[in-house]
Structure 1
């Protein structure tokens, strides 16, 4: 037990207050220790440099299955759910993923429970059990995960790329696995999958190809001691990291075009070139340099030209990682209806831009700009959540020298034109692969991909077309970008001793606008966040108005792309989105030039005119999006229908789709001034900005509206938000919908628990804290009802309740019965819950609630939610946790008996079932009446037969509405004098 290498001189940002130490243990395990005494969450991640490309050929999905099984008990902690139970009881969570050549495991937990969690975590890599029973059950979870993805176009296209690669290359494997590959076929061939799992773990889970990142409040010496005592036991088998010198796209796989029929009505063009692995050149980052130019969205860019021709809506260009030894360079575009007819012309334009880059040669100033922007990002990098931070660093330990693990992905130091030219030389017609995706290709396809059933056809690109691309020449409309005028130059931090408020304060209120402000004194970065809501009663007046507002927001974002892209590159971003209440504008990033961007946005908004060509293209995209709803996951459907059933106003996808027939250039042109004519503005300004500057910013925005759009304030009576329908006490309602795309069905069982207020908020959260892990363990792990099992809170329009969502291959009737059985059992478990376990759960919830947002923008987002819900409880976490700690076990039991128990007097149950009608789907009657598991989970006493909802408007007519929430801070709708 000991350390081979210890390094404290880790290059870090000057703003980073944490302490770092890198180690290489005697067993060659790489370790990064991060000491952060101020952290309110501890975390760790371990990355094994092996993944699905190392699966045995005869067992596709074994690496992924190993990732699943590793959590199912160890020699020291044999109980299957010991790890998750421990984390749940101490405010933690965990997850893992399997990639092509990495498998990454990570968790977070309350700092005081870190050593216990790390002990349990370490055992996975020392003595996992891989029990026979666990193997038999967990293969169903892997299969359910695969089934969930079968109708997902992202997964289908990713696998098609693999399936059309060199069939002798490991890249071509089916990485997820399913019941066929991991159970049925192996058994038919006399293979023991558990033995194969043990062999895979024994072969590849070697300390010398592992990397561990650990973050805790302990000192570096204490963290080192913990790691040494727990991870020195991991065996070093002196394995070599798998590497693939040969590319999966060789000469036989290039100069090919594939035509693919998607599940959703999408149209895409994917252009891929094989390139070498660029990780060794991280200090030069030639792929980043070329991606910066090819993916640029400003004037003269490839995207700007293709949009101008009406062929595409968006473009992504740059390097895409493959695995150790090879990579890809991609140019992907979202095609318009006209664009899918001009694929050859789009590829020609790509080669014309590449020719421009070759003619101009690598530009020192472009590299310097990329270098300076990356350096600025590193210097002023927001803190990340400990879990995601350690997860990323564990993988990066494999790629960068120990002292550069933090900065390796950011600090460019070597301009090497020859490397940029080397990558450019790979981007030729001879090495191109093209995939065209669209519903219009259905008559063209002739093949079916093995694992996902994707319909496609592969063809060789004709020599005549290749020659046309070789001779593409130049295009006068394409040019290199200009120097970025949005790069900030002033990073001064403002502090005002008089700004002593911990929470946002209203600094101005008029009939037209309400402005909230908080100067940052916590994150101390030269950044700010500005939220603005333009509230209008016409926003959700009917489906027609809803569509018009949506398309206006789309047209606006589309029109501003060229201007705002430079700001985006320079760390200053904006978003404009429509809601039931109007438009929400968010501008965030470096504060130096934030006002310039905000003023430009408002100037364009108040003088906006509709481009007829872009209108037709974006309307088509919007209509396709509405039609694609049926291909969304069943669990997304149950959430949608629950909201539709309970919201005061809600338009179905069918109603919105039908109303698109009324939408024209003329109606949108008329709608925009009407929308802007009467508004209420709500603003929140938070960050590195003085009060006077914030007030000026708010005034400028308001002046733009009043002077240019002649906006008038709304009446106080118009400032009304939506309410929620109140289910009757003792009622049981059921709504059923069908889905013909997915084989899985889904159910959401929702128990309405009344209005949000501190006491009930904490009782409901505590109930969910106690229920969540057992729900996952019982319904997913033990009963194998489906990959997606979720137990938590639904909050909307000031109301709240307990929701349990399950998606799986069983009929929703059966899923519903098992949820009821689980809840019945949990009533008994609550009664028997030891006091010390109850206190542990209470503190776990307190720990989670008191965890501070790591980024300025996250805290602003929390406060903005308080403003838009009209609750204004800016110190909610502290106030509610103080009340939480006064609650007793009896309080929770009584809450359960009041709202959830099968005989509860105020039980208000709404069950939404989405039933699969796909061939072989979970809507078949056989999926209802399978034998119930022999697990002691009995059904509650006979339940009241649910009332089936067949007509949503009729269902709502008989219900009362809950009142609107009363704000914590009384906010008058009458004008008051500014506090400035």
Structure 2
């Protein structure tokens, strides 16, 4: 490195905390122009990735030009002074097994790509020109304005986006949170310009916007309820994460939880709780339809120890965090809780009050109410109402009493404590080998010799011909699986928290059960899960008053099981077209203004060469 290049590095950081199994090397650099860079070295990777986070987003759009930041992220791909061809950047990446994308947030924009490692210098040279000399030609601008407009039209009937815009529309008059970020048709040499980053020191909702209920009309016939509470921005408190404790308890799914009681009453099917941070210095706690302190710390720590992100994912995540997190904590900030701040947790809990909330109810039944308002961007019909004094008093009274159905979660017995690996087999096997083969089962085994982590995966496939003998049986079997999943929800939540995952799914052959995660407690979990699927499960299902047809299938599946005959093993079926056959399916849909064409070609039995040729076409 020349002396001139050395001088651009203001400070180097080597003490970056990483997971115990992470063999990558990391270095942080602060440049004299203010850029902060995280370098990652991984000799084993087959892909390199780069991401850049810019501290400007849609909240900085002029009010009279909504979507300007979004348009800019489109335009940077449309040619630069050094590489004027509009598709030069994308062509280069595509020809070297790479891809790129970008997205615009409220107070930031992120640009990223990946490519073959040996082509990284060429990709970076093209990438950096975005921020040195973009062309912004008139013809490209016209096309990209149309592309932005098309994006907007594609989400016009998306109920989540429609209600979100109502959420913004209701903010304080003139507050940047109310801006529309998508936009429509109507609307090393890098210099440090020393632009002060904009911050918002107060929440988008004040007393005039809180203590209210909004009833909104969706496009689809769906219903949901959400409750929002203004919170301070907690991003800088990543070492204690006080909001995590609150989320952990509110959205817990075990017996004695809020979700458990609401499900028992038949009021909800799911419940979520978390933070939405629109921009720096503002945050909202969202509640829509602790174990002990030490346990919360264990849960976070277990996720940190053996997490390895793909290059693109790591680059995007690190770039976004470089805005507000020191280099040494970039990798561990989401996982390691090194501080416990009970006073801060109590302070945040005190903000969960009726007077500090904003309620949204979404349902078709609200259509056509007298006094309704139309949100101007998406055209969503809604009405804002004061929550009456009697209801508010009932809410206040509820805070002073405890409910007999609620209790703190029990200790999680599935959290792993032993991370020793099993003894290595003397001979490595490139493929699974058959270790059991009888009239009831076939068992295959392969020891991992690549990732070297204290994890394992168990997969059971139970072949059951009755479930695919006709469409009716297939549908009823899927309903049975849905009931099973609902019943297992409370029991498997503890394992999900402990990074021990279990799935029971429909397959082409019957039912498939997967269990994966840390191996120390996996045997016990697999045993518990299969026990719940066994004959004792029938009693619980009978209490649910299921249909006679479904119960008959269950009885057959559990009580009359036997080894299958060879001709009962279902083979995967494919549709084969005769040579020269052509079929066209046309469908008129009124949901979106845009359309699409999907063309499929039959090429025969899959093989490696044909698959590679198809990828080249793509």
TM-score under structure 2 length normalisation: 0.95
* Residue 67 to residue 610, structure 1, CA distance change in 2 (3 Å): farther
* 2:479 maps to 1:551: yes
Mapped pair 1:374 → 2:374: no
Match of 1:437 in 2: 362
Query: How big is the shift at 1:611?
Result: 6.1
Rounded to whole Å, the distance in 2 between the matches of 1:613 and 1:323 is 50
Specify the alignment match of 1:808 in structure 2.
none
Contact 2:509-2:569 at 8 Å conserved across structures: no
CA shift at 1:26, angstroms? 0.8
1:498 aligns with 2:403: no
Instruction: Report how far residue 615 of structure 1 moved.
Output: 5.8
Q: 1:672, CA displacement in angstroms?
A: 1.4
Gap regions ≥5 residues in structure 1: 183-231, 334-362, 617-663, 678-708, 773-980
For residue 478 of structure 1, give the secondary structure of its aligned residue in structure 2. coil
Flag the 1:4–1:440 CA change in 2: closer, same or farther, 3 A.
same
Deviation at 1:499, TM superposition (A): 4.2
Contact 2:53 2:110 in 1 (8 A): yes
Q: Which residue of 2 aligns with 1:742?
A: 592
User: Do the aligned partners of 1:555 and 1:615 also contact (CA within 8 Å) in 2?
Assistant: no
Secondary structure class of the residue paired with 2:271:
strand
Alignment deviations for residues 16-59 of structure 1 (CA, whole Å, 9 cap, x no partner): 11111101111000100001111110000001122111111111
Matched, 1:248 2:204: yes
Q: Distance in 2 between matches of 1:486 and 1:582?
A: 29
For the structure 1 residues 614 and 276, does the alpha-carbon distance in structure 2 shift closer, same or farther, using more than 3 Å as the test?
farther
Find the aligned partners of 1:22 and 1:757 in 2 and give their Cα distance: 44
**Pairs within 5 Å for 1:869-884:** none
| Aligned match for 1:328, one of 256, 261, 284 | 284
Give per-residue Cα distances to partners, 1:486-525, cap 9 Å, x unaligned. Answer: 1112211113232410222222222332222111111111
1:715 and 2:565 matched:
yes
Residue aligned with 1:234, SS: coil
Report what 2:380 is aligned to: 454
Single out whichever of 581-590 and 722-731 deviates more from structure 2: 722-731
Q: Is the 8 A contact 1:555 1:614 kept in 2?
A: no
Question: Aligned residue for 1:415?
Answer: 340
Report SS of the residue matched to 2:422: coil
Matched, 1:126 2:136: no
CA contact (8 A) 1:373 1:570 kept: yes
Distance 2:223 2:503 in 1: 24
Cα-to-partner distance string for 1:516-550 (whole Å, 9 max, x where unaligned):
21111111111111222222222233332122111
Between the aligned partners of 1:518 and 1:752, the Cα distance in structure 2 is 35
CA distance in 2, matches of 1:274, 1:245: 12
Partner residue, 1:564: 492
The count of residues paired between Structure 1 and Structure 2 equals 608
Deviation at 1:454, TM superposition (A): 1.9
Task: Please state whether the residue corresponding to 1:313 is helix, strand or coil.
Answer: coil
CA offsets 1:212-269 (integer angstroms, 9 cap, x no match): xxxxxxxxxxxxxxxxxxxx11110111222111111111111111112222232211
Residues 613 and 313 (structure 1), Cα distance of their counterparts in 2 relative to 1, 3 Å cut: farther
- Taking the aligned partners of 2:395 and 2:287, their CA distance within structure 1 comes to 15
What is the 5 A alignment of 1:682-761? 709=559, 711-761=561-611
- In the other structure, the counterpart of 1:153 is 159
Deviation at 1:147, TM superposition (A): 1.2
Q: Distance in 2 between matches of 1:737 and 1:615?
A: 40
The equivalent residue for 1:764 is 614
Alignment partner of 1:477 out of 394, 405, 408: 405
Aligned residue for 1:524, secondary structure, equals coil
**Match of residue 398 from structure 1:** 323
The one of 92, 107, 114 equivalent to 2:113 is 107
Q: Write the deviation string for residues 781-807 of structure 1: whole angstroms up to 9, x where unpaired.
A: xxxxxxxxxxxxxxxxxxxxxxxxxxx
2:17 is the counterpart of 1:11: yes
CA distance in 2, matches of 1:454, 1:584: 42
- Over 3 Å counting, the alpha-carbon distance change for 1:591 and 1:292 in structure 2 is same
Q: How far apart, CA to CA, are the structure 1 residues paired with 2:163 and 2:139?
A: 34
- Indicate how the Cα distance of structure 1 residues 615 and 91 shifts in structure 2: closer, same or farther if over 3 A, else same: farther
Runs of 4 or more consecutive aligned structure 1 residues displaced over 4 Å after TM superposition: 610-616
Asked if the contact 1:64–1:176 (Cα under 8 Å) also holds between the matched residues in 2, the reply is yes
Match of 1:281 in 2: 237
2:537 maps to which residue?
Answer: 608
Given that 1:495 and 1:521 are in contact with CA atoms closer than 8 Å, whether structure 2 keeps it comes out as no
Q: Residue by residue, what CA displacement relative to the aligned partner does 1:649-693 show, whole Å, maximum 9, x if unpaired?
A: xxxxxxxxxxxxxxx53222222132x25xxxxxxxxxxxxxxxx
Residue 577 of structure 1 pairs with residue 505 of structure 2 = yes
**Where does residue 99 of structure 2 map in the other structure?**
93
Contact map agreement 2:509 2:570 (CA 8 A) in 1: no
Say which SS state the counterpart of residue 136 (structure 2) adopts: coil
Question: Who is 2:28 aligned against?
Answer: 22
The C-alpha deviation readout for 1:849-894, integer Å capped at 9, x for no partner, is: xxxxxxxxxxxxxxxxxxxxxxxxxxxxxxxxxxxxxxxxxxxxxx
Structure 2: any 5+ residue segments left out of the alignment? none
Counterpart in the other structure of 1:671: 553
How far does residue 307 in structure 1 lie from its aligned partner after superposition? 0.9
Q: Is contact 1:310-1:614 (8 Å) kept? A: no
For 2:524, which of 586, 596, 600 is the aligned residue? 596
Q: Distance in 2 between matches of 1:158 and 1:385?
A: 31
SS in 2 for 1:712: coil
| Alpha-carbon contact 1:294-1:318 (below 8 Å) kept | no
Query: Is the 2:428–2:449 Cα contact (8 Å) retained in structure 1?
Result: no
**TM-score normalized with structure 1 length:** 0.60
Distance of 1:414 and 1:756 partners within structure 2: 54
Cα distance between partner residues in 2 of 1:577 and 1:58 = 51
Report deviation, 1:443: 4.6
Please state how far the C-alpha of 1:752 moved relative to its aligned partner: 1.3
SS, match of residue 103 in structure 2: strand
Contact 2:425 2:447 in 1 (8 A): no
Q: C-alpha distance in 2, partners of 1:613/1:177?
A: 53
Matched with 1:853 is none
1:465 aligned to which of 387, 391, 403: 391
Higher fraction of helix: 1
Instruction: Please tell me whether the aligned partners of residues 259 and 444 of structure 1 are also in contact (alpha carbons under 8 angstroms).
Output: no
Deviation at 1:582, TM superposition (A): 1.9
Query: How many Å separate the matches in 2 of 1:165 and 1:504?
Result: 58
Q: Does structure 2 retain, via aligned residues, the 8 Å contact 1:539–1:579?
A: no
Question: CA RMSD of the aligned region, Å?
Answer: 1.8
Query: Which of 48, 55, 64 in structure 2 is aligned with 1:58?
Result: 64
* 1:73-92 matches, cutoff 5 A: 73-92=79-98
